[in-house]
């Protein structure tokens, strides 16, 4: 238990026994394939459809695949392997897992939970938009197919254009029909009641996906993780037959090698791998804690990361084949159609459907695919909070709610209430502000400290020992080098570059005012602040003076492969080591340090 992990004298025997019993009775996936599918569903999300193709276009087309695949091999796969190993070995969510491997940086686990919860409150709004478009797709003609609607302006045009004075029918449907968008963040407007009801529906779907834990999630992912591929392939076959499709695909894959000489392209590739797989969000670590102890972690790591990247490339072909068709019809360059973010799937691509044969069919298929992609990622983020709360407050929560199902319902209800600002008329600005300061700013700091905690303080040798205890094989030299040198170095470069190149949040041409930017930093700090708070708490509760405790961690950091007994020096009290050892035993992590004696006071 977090509140007593550093002070075993304050813990009762009953509380320790309950925690041990909970761990022994921890549910596991019915079949291991269910975890693999859940991991694929968590990693493969809307970013694969709306972010990766745009980055390819902006970063040299096919040339972007070189840094992208390089970062997948040296950054994505090793760090996912690291997270799955820690989650499976400790059999805990990110809060307790990080508290076990590195008590000083246990706040990294708390920050993972905080960032996942913040994201789930606004990410479900994207699912709400997908449901709104899905329901609208059953109309004939499609409501964004023409400008003959009550919400259209005199500047509306049914075709894409280079002019900044006109807007397309699909743009006006998104802005003036669905969002009823205000002029800025200072003008809040009213609640969009249609979106309010659909948001309730979205949270009902999420609840029934996860209310039974891995038992219900494991059944849902058979459909939500696999069916999007059926739709993607069907869309690709349809788009490839359209005139001009080959021009769009050529634009997507033809390399511009000179772009590889810019640092920004390599940083974008690393950031895309990082955010797409979900390193630092805690979702995959939480789900891996329900694996059987001897599961082959490497097999799951390779399956999740490789399929995630192949899906991004497949989505790129689907998107740009449609762009080529639109370019052919309207006589404008493909470069004028490519946009980033929600605009790609809710403005540009719906416009392509309007010009296809049987547009309702393809619109329904596409937005149903977005729904499946969003659901997988959303319930993975909610599961992080559920897992962490059940790890920490299992007895209290079961006493209050009587069952886990009611506890999950309460979490979904709270997240729903916090998401209401995003479905007001000002909602798109709230969404953009939260996404910018959570998914872009916070996650880089979080990832940096997670790698420091696990790869350097906990140590590569101990992590390899954990793997050997679970699977019988230690990590090979490639993974050990990536954990020790390559990954920390790359994340440091990305973090520094992100700070240097940081730009205030904006939406299209609208730049948020200073007071809104300050609110954004408060949102960012809501997750980052747990890292220093966790370190302060650790230093406060451990016995001994501040210098004695910091000296203990200094030796642990710079001599990570030494036995814990060798860390005893004249400056370190026995009681400090005793508390750490007791914390290790409490969570059943016997390989955390080598050669822990039966009586810690003998150290």
pLDDT at 20: 46
**Residue holding tokens 């809307």?**
46
- What tokens appear for 320 in the block? 């740009």
- Hey, how many other C-beta atoms are within 10 angstroms of the C-beta on 373? 29
- What tokens appear for 9 in the block? 């004298």
At residue 191, the 3 state secondary structure works out as: strand
CA nearest to 251, candidates 319, 314, 310: 319
- Hey, how many other C-beta atoms are within 10 angstroms of the C-beta on 179? 23
- What tokens appear for 247 in the block? 């021009």
pTM of this prediction?
0.85
Q: Are strands 510-511 and 506-507 parallel, antiparallel or unpaired?
A: antiparallel
Alpha helices, DSSP H, located in 168-244: 169-172, 193-210, 214-224, 227-240
Q: How far, in Å, are 121, 342, 549, 594 from residue 129 at the CA level?
A: 14, 10, 51, 52
pLDDT at 5: 37
Q: How far, in Å, are 102, 149, 601 from residue 571 at the CA level?
A: 21, 77, 16
| 113/111 Cα distance (integer angstroms) | 5
| 338/319 Cα distance (integer angstroms) | 9
The residues, ordered by sequence, that sit 6+ positions from 226 with a Cβ below 8 Å of its Cβ are 37
The residues, ordered by sequence, that sit 6+ positions from 419 with a Cβ below 8 Å of its Cβ are 121, 122, 124, 125, 199
**Phi and psi, residue 585, nearest 5°:** -65, -35
Compute mean pLDDT per 10 residues along the chain, 603 residues long, and list them.
Answer: 36 42 68 90 86 81 87 93 94 89 89 91 93 93 88 81 71 91 90 95 92 78 88 90 88 84 84 84 90 92 94 90 84 73 80 84 92 89 89 84 88 94 93 86 85 90 92 93 92 85 83 93 92 88 69 60 44 43 40 35 31
Q: How far, in Å, are 66, 76, 254, 299, 545 from residue 487 at the CA level?
A: 18, 9, 29, 20, 34
**Residue holding tokens 């968590």?**
42
pLDDT at 197: 97
Exposure class string for 27-41: b at 16+ Cβ within 10 A, else e: ebbeebebbbbbbbb
Q: Are strands 156-157 and 167-168 parallel, antiparallel or unpaired?
A: parallel
CA nearest to 87, candidates 265, 281, 290: 290
Q: How far, in Å, are 80, 282, 392, 403, 577 from residue 99 at the CA level?
A: 19, 13, 12, 26, 15
Q: Which helix (H) or strand (E) holds 512?
A: none
pLDDT at 566: 44
The residues, ordered by sequence, that sit 6+ positions from 330 with a Cβ below 8 Å of its Cβ are 159, 160, 161
DSSP structural state of residue 437: I
At residue 167, the 3 state secondary structure works out as: strand
Alpha helices, DSSP H, located in 137-213: 169-172, 193-210
| 45/379 Cα distance (integer angstroms) | 12
- What tokens appear for 387 in the block? 């897992």
State the sign of the Cα–Cα–Cα–Cα dihedral 12, 13, 16, 17.
negative
| 68/415 Cα distance (integer angstroms) | 34
| 231/66 Cα distance (integer angstroms) | 27
pLDDT at 567: 43
| 221/191 Cα distance (integer angstroms) | 33
Residues 214, 28 contacting (CB under 8 angstroms) = yes
- Hey, how many other C-beta atoms are within 10 angstroms of the C-beta on 135? 14
Q: How far, in Å, are 418, 422, 466, 467, 558 from residue 193 at the CA level?
A: 16, 12, 52, 51, 57
- What tokens appear for 361 in the block? 């069919």
pLDDT at 582: 43
């Amino acid at each position: 238990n977090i509140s007593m992990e550093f002070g075993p004298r304050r813990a009762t025997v009953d509380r320790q026994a309950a925690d041990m019993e909970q761990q022994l009775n921890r549910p596991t996936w019915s079949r291991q394939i269910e975890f693999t599918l859940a991991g694929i569903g968590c990693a493969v999300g809307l970013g694969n459809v709306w972010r990766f193709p745009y980055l390819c276009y902006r970063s040299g087309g096919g040339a972007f695949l070189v840094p992208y695949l390089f970062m997948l091999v040296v950054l994505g796969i090793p760090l996912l392997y690291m997270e799955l190993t820690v989650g499976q070995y400790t059999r805990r969510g990110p809060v307790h897992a990080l508290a076990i491997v590195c008590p000083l940086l246990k706040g990294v686990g708390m920050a993972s939970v905080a960032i996942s919860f913040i994201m789930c409150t606004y990410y479900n709004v994207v699912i709400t938009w997908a449901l709104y478009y899905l329901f609208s797709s059953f109309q004939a003609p499609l409501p964004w197919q023409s400008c003959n609607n009550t919400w259209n302006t005199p500047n509306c045009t049914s075709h894409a254009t280079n002019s900044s004075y006109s807007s397309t029918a699909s743009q006006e449907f998104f802005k003036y029909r669905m969002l009823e968008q205000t002029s800025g963040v200072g003008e809040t407007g009213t609640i969009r009641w249609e979106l309010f009801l659909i948001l309730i529906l979205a949270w009902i779907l999420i609840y029934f996906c996860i209310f039974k834990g891995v038992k219900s999630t494991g059944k849902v992912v058979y459909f939500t993780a696999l069916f999007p591929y059926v739709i993607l392939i069907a869309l690709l076959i349809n788009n490839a037959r359209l005139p001009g499709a080959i021009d769009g695909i050529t634009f997507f894959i033809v390399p511009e090698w000179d772009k590889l000489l810019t640092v920004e392209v390599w940083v974008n590739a690393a950031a895309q791998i990082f955010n797409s797989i979900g390193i630092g969000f805690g979702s995959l670590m939480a789900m891996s804690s329900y694996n059987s102890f001897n599961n082959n972690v490497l097999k799951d790591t390779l399956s999740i990361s490789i399929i995630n990247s192949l899906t991004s490339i497949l989505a790129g072909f689907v998107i740009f084949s449609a762009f080529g068709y639109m370019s052919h019809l309207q006589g404008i360059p493909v470069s004028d159609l490519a946009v980033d973010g929600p605009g790609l799937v809710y403005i540009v691509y719906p416009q392509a459907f309007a010009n296809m044969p049987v547009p309702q069919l393809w619109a329904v298929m596409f937005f149903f695919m977005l729904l499946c992609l969003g659901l997988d990622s959303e319930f993975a983020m909610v599961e992080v909070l559920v897992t962490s709360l059940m790890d920490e407050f299992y007895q209290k929560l079961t006493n209050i709610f009587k069952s886990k199902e009611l506890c999950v319902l309460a979490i979904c209800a709270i997240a729903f209430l916090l998401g209401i600002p995003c479905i007001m008329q000002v909602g798109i600005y709230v969404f953009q502000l939260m996404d910018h300061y959570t998914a872009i700013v916070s996650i880089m700091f979080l990832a940096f400290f997670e790698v420091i905690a696990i790869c350097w303080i906990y140590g590569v040798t101990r992590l390899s020992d954990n793997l050997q205890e679970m699977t019988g094989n230690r990590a090979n030299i490639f993974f050990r080098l990536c954990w020790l040198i390559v990954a920390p170095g790359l994340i440091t470069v990305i973090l520094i570059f992100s700070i240097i190149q940081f730009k205030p949040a904006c939406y299209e041409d609208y730049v948020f005012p200073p007071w809104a930017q300050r609110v954004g930093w408060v949102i960012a700090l809501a997750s980052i602040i747990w890292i220093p708070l966790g370190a302060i708490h650790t230093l406060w509760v451990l016995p001994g003076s501040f210098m004695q405790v910091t000296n203990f961690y200094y030796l642990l950091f710079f001599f990570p492969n030494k036995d814990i007994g060798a860390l005893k020096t004249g400056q370190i009290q026995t009681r400090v080591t005793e508390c750490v050892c007791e914390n290790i035993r409490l969570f059943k992590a016997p390989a955390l340090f080598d050669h822990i004696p039966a009586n810690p006071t003998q150290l």
